[in-house]
Amino acid sequence: MESLRVGIFGLMRILITILLVASSYLQMSAQLGVARSVDPASLGQGSILPLQGGRYQPLGNPAVLGMRGPTEVGAYVVQPFGLNDLAISYVHGAFHSGWGGLGAGIGYSGLNGFRSTTAHLAYGHALWNRLFAGLSLDGAFIDLSDYGHTSSIGLSGGVILPIREALRLGILIRYPFAITTQGKQDLPVSYQATLSYELNAALSVSVEWYQEEQFKPDFRLGVTYSPIPQVPIRLGYQSLLNQFSVGAGYRWKERLILDIAGGHHPFLGFTPSAGLRYTFLR
């Protein structure tokens, strides 16, 4: 009887996770419990999007590309709730020049009967040296063997305003819609506001408000502390998921950066993540 109960629970967990991951790619995920795929550096601090030009988060605020950060390439893997078959792999890159910054990425997740591919393209530019703005286009293709396929396209616009030297405000609006065999289907528009404050060179605090139409808001808190400059330690919390997260990074010779993180969902369990980034210093 006990083995039957464990088997049923395991099957339910897999089915729920498939639905959650699939919905996350269509940006319908806030109420269901899975956020959009973020890199381990963001996951470690509560999935909060970065507002600094030194790191590019592929599905983050595209305005960060307008800052004069380094050109970089990277890859990361997220394993939702410890399920090997649903690991999300993502590769991305960002290029900066005098006319702005361009970012791109592609991700994949799949198992028997379920495959999902995402693509991302973004551009950011500096305005008047006090305001950064950006646009991004996100696409997703989901194939469920027994139910056909669904595609989605999302257009996002973001700005980042340095209020003071150590205080930054970021605003992001996403407009997604799904394309199915039955035609166009609107998805909830989402709004996101991020506030980041650097107390000193070693400690920063960030808060974020995320809202999808017709759903409850998600409040996020993240802290990053660097006991030494090349080793940041990150802590985070997301109210909607009641999820705590922790992460750390290591920068080797100013070029190669390793990030690891994990978040714990009270029902679905632990989500590990790891990634590498390489920067081309000028």
Length of the chain: 282
Which phi-psi region, left, alpha or beta, contains residue 227 (left: φ > 0; alpha: ψ -120 to 50)? Answer: alpha
Q: What is the pTM of this model?
A: 0.81
Token couple for 14:
């897999």
60-82 pLDDT, tens digit per residue, is 899 999 988 788 999 999 887 76
pLDDT given at position 146 = 63
At residue 26, what are phi and psi to the nearest 5 degrees? -95, 10
Does residue 1 have a pLDDT over 60?
A: no
In one-letter notation, the amino acid at residue 281 is L
Task: Name residues whose C-beta falls within 8 Å of residue 84's C-beta, 6 or more positions apart in sequence.
Answer: none
**Cα 108 to Cα 260: distance, rounded to the nearest angstrom:** 19
What is the CATH number that goes with domain 2-280?
Answer: 2.40.160.40
> Is 173 in contact with 157 (CB distance < 8 Å)?
yes
Mean pLDDT value across the chain: 81
The domain limits of the chain are 2-280
Does residue 23 have a pLDDT over 50?
A: no
69-128 pLDDT, tens digit per residue, is 788 999 999 887 766 667 788 999 999 887 889 999 998 887 666 778 888 999 999 988
More confident residue, 275 or 16: 275
Task: Name residues whose C-beta falls within 8 Å of residue 40's C-beta, 6 or more positions apart in sequence.
Answer: 76, 78, 247, 259, 260, 261, 273, 274, 275
Indicate the helix (H) or strand (E) that contains 210.
strand 203-212
164-217 pLDDT, tens digit per residue, is 889 999 999 998 876 665 566 667 889 999 999 999 989 999 999 999 888 889
